[in-house]
Structure 1
Amino acid sequence: MGSANGLVSAQGKQPLLSFGIISDVQYADIPDGRSFIGVPRYYRHSILVLQRAVQKWNNHQKLKFVINFGDIVDGFCPKDQSLNAVKKVVNEFQIFNGPAYHMIGNHCLYNLPRDKLLPLLKIPSVDGHAYYDFSPIPEYRFVVLDGYDISAIGWPQDHPKTMQALKFLREKNPNSDKNSPAGLVGLERRFLLFNGAVGKEQLEWLHGVLEDATKENQKVVVCCHLPLDPGASSEEALLWNYDEVMDVIHRYNCVKVCLAGHDHKGGQSIDSHGVHHRVLEAALECPPGTDSFGYIDVFDDRLSVFGTDRMKSTDMIFTL
């Protein structure tokens, strides 16, 4: 993993805090395969990537916490192995010498329903929701969104949120296979079963958190499994209502960076309001012997990503 020493000495100051990052481990004890567009996937190797990540994070010594950006196990994991597979990966995160924060992704929900998954991931939850915030230092607040709040996966089949999601998909995607974007054009290609939306209550909660962060003069980092900006992601990977979420975010000047997973190739953009968007490259797609994880140094005026192999290192410098 790259060292921040050169950057710190050049800038003349130490980071306010540092934290580890990884996304889309998608572990399963099955032979290697390929994505629906033919990209190789290394299901057994991915947990080795995580193990090396934890070792590196612990050696770093100054990391305050780590964040996993979702999809802890893969949807092809045999269902009779799902519970043990999730526990196995969670146990690897627990070897880290500090807190590990998780968020849910579609592959998590293919394996276990919310009521079983959230306690395993130690996600603070009310009524099955998986959004929360935390403030590791007074200057910064981290907001973790539940991108599958409105979703056809994860909730019971007769749950109102499932019904709402299925109705939405019927209106937006005419294909019998709701995971197919065939015939959908441009940004409409996000209306797929493996994506989801942030619900009304969560949007109101986000308003409140950002209003409070503004009063406290905090900078905010928003984290979501699903990307929130078309400039950083393929259309097929976006949150269904990313525009509504960003409308809330853009009403406040406190949000500086949005981090996401899901779109395995990764990406980066700066939107029209100067908010940085960074999508993290997937651990699942690392050939044996290569890695995709890293850490972020947080400064008053920027976040600096230090990645390994597939995960690109980059600076996100923002206006104060």
Structure 2
Amino acid sequence: MRQRIGIITDIHFGSGEEHGMKSAEQDLIRCLGFWHREGIDHVLQMGDLIDGPPAEAAGQLDRVTALLKSFSGTIHHLVGNHCLDAGLPRLMASASLSSPFYHVRLGSWRFIMLNGMDITTSSRPETAADQKRMALFTSDSWAQPYCGAISGHQLTWLGAKLGAAAAAAEDVVVCCHLPLAPGTTDEHHGILWNHREAADIILRHPAVRLVLGGHYHRGGITWRNGIPMLTLPGFVKRHTPPCFTCGIIELEESLITVYDQQLQIRQLLHRNQSRP
């Protein structure tokens, strides 16, 4: 069964001060109109909704969420590293989230929305395993301090949801703001600290059709076990190549197509493809 869903990432609302916010508002309104014209009822907002810093984050969050609430459908939000400048409780309230990680079923597809900022440099992990996950940023040059890790509790939840999806014969899209593979980011932007651990869980499940992320504003793609791991280009860099503002992902049994805001095809991802 074909499923079409809107996509946008790294809005970084608040960058460029007032002029930048007005420009972003105008372009976001265009995205909402684009999705409406295309009959899109659900949108994935892949994190870094705001830019910060903490002193300005609450105002940025209020302003951009008020605009997004004019969308007639449902926007499913991910937690990004910049989002935490507003505080996780306030972010969750604005995004109407009961948990920072969750799943959504749309037809025969299940979208698993991970919180890659579950463990951060300011966390106080209670278990020895989570303490080791936190320590990764001190030993891996790609594990930047402004990124984070997924806790053992969330990884257990992830495995259970993947198993349930397989039992229900559902196809799965796993979403995380932070990239889960080196080929989809660079060392400067960083990666999920425990990306190997998370990817090992995800990629051993045949139900997974796509791993989707943000954070790295240029975008990127790699393939593991025949599964595409795709980082979407950031809205905040929409005026520079690859000039991606927002888009639509069309999900079919044997093909995933990524369109941009002009309905130009950006990616054709065939099932079990070994290379892009």
Please give the alpha-carbon distance, in whole angstroms, between the structure 1 residues aligned to 2:118 and 2:178.
12
Give the aligned residue type for 2:4. S
Distance 1:115 1:30, change over 3 A: same
Decide which structure has the larger Cα Rg and report it: 1
Partner of 2:70: 95
1:173: which partner in 2? 138
Partner Cα separation in structure 1 for residue 174 and residue 74 of structure 2: 18
Instruction: For residue 245 of structure 1, give the secondary structure of its aligned residue in structure 2.
Output: helix
- 1:243-258 superposed matches below 5 A: 243-258=196-211
Cα offset, 1:245, TM superposition: 0.6
Deviation of 1:287 (Å): 3.0
For these two proteins, the number of residue pairs brought into alignment is 268
Are 2:11 and 1:19 aligned? no
Q: Equivalents in 2 of 1:133, 1:170: separation in Å? A: 28
**Counterparts of 1:319 and 1:170 in 2: how far apart (Å)?**
35
CA-CA distance at 1:278 after TM superposition: 1.0
CA distances 1:238-258 after superposition (whole Å, capped 9, x unpaired):
110111011111221111101
293, 300, 314: which is aligned to 2:253? 300
Contact 1:21 1:293 in 2 (8 A): yes
**2:185 maps to what in 1?**
233
2: CA distance, partners of 1:277 / 1:28? 29
> Is contact 2:256–2:270 with CA below 8 Å preserved after alignment?
yes
**Would the alpha carbon gap of residues 123 and 279 (structure 1) be closer, same or farther in structure 2, given more than 3 Å must change?**
same
Q: How many angstroms apart in 1 are the aligned matches of 2:18 and 2:142?
A: 27
Cα distance in 2 between the residues matched to 1:259 and 1:195: 17
**SS of aligned partner of 1:221:** strand
**Post-superposition offset of 1:268:** 1.1
Aligned partners of 1:30 and 1:44 also within 8 Å: no
CA distance in 2, matches of 1:209, 1:254: 11
Would the alpha carbon gap of residues 97 and 171 (structure 1) be closer, same or farther in structure 2, given more than 3 Å must change?
closer
Alignment of 1:1-320 (within 5 A): 16-28=2-14, 30-31=16-17, 44-61=22-39, 63-76=40-53, 79=55, 81-110=56-85, 112-125=86-99, 130-137=100-107, 139-152=108-121, 159-160=124-125, 172-173=137-138, 188-235=140-187, 236-271=189-224, 273-287=225-239, 292-308=245-261, 313-319=266-272
**Residue pair 1:17, 1:64 contacting (<8 A) in 2 also:** no
DSSP-derived class of the 2:98 partner: coil
Do 1:74 and 1:108's aligned partners in 2 also have CA atoms closer than 8 Å?
A: yes
Classify the secondary structure of the residue corresponding to 1:189.
coil
Going from structure 1 to structure 2, the CA distance change for 1:82 and 1:75 (only over 3 Å counts) comes to closer
Gap change, CA 1:291 and 1:92, over 3 Å in 2: farther
User: Contact between 1:265 and 1:281, CA under 8 Å: does it hold in 2?
Assistant: yes
Quote the Cα distance in structure 2 between the aligned partners of 1:124 and 1:302. Answer: 32
Q: TM-score, with normalisation over the residues of structure 2?
A: 0.87
Query: Conserved in 1, the CA contact under 8 Å of 2:136 and 2:193?
Result: no
Normalising by structure 1, what TM-score? 0.76
**How far does the alpha carbon of each residue in 1:123-153 deviate from its partner, in whole angstroms, 9 at most, with x for none?**
222xxxx11001110x211000000011135
The letter of the residue matching 2:186 is: S
Alignment gaps of 5+ in structure 1: 1-14, 34-41, 175-187
Tell me which amino acid in the other structure corresponds to 2:117: Y
Report the Cα offset of residue 193 of structure 1: 1.4
Deviation at 1:60, TM superposition (A): 1.1
- Are the counterparts in 1 of residues 11 and 236 from structure 2 also a CA contact under 8 Å? yes
Judged with a 3 Å threshold, the aligned counterparts in structure 2 of structure 1 residues 231 and 171 are, in CA distance, closer, same or farther, namely closer
Q: Distance in 1 between matches of 2:154 and 2:98?
A: 14
Per-residue CA distance 1:286-309 (angstroms, 9 max, x = gap): 239x65111111111121100137
Quote the sequence identity (%): 27
SS in 2 for 1:205: helix
Residue 89 of structure 1: CA displacement?
A: 1.0
Distance 1:171 1:57 in 2: 40
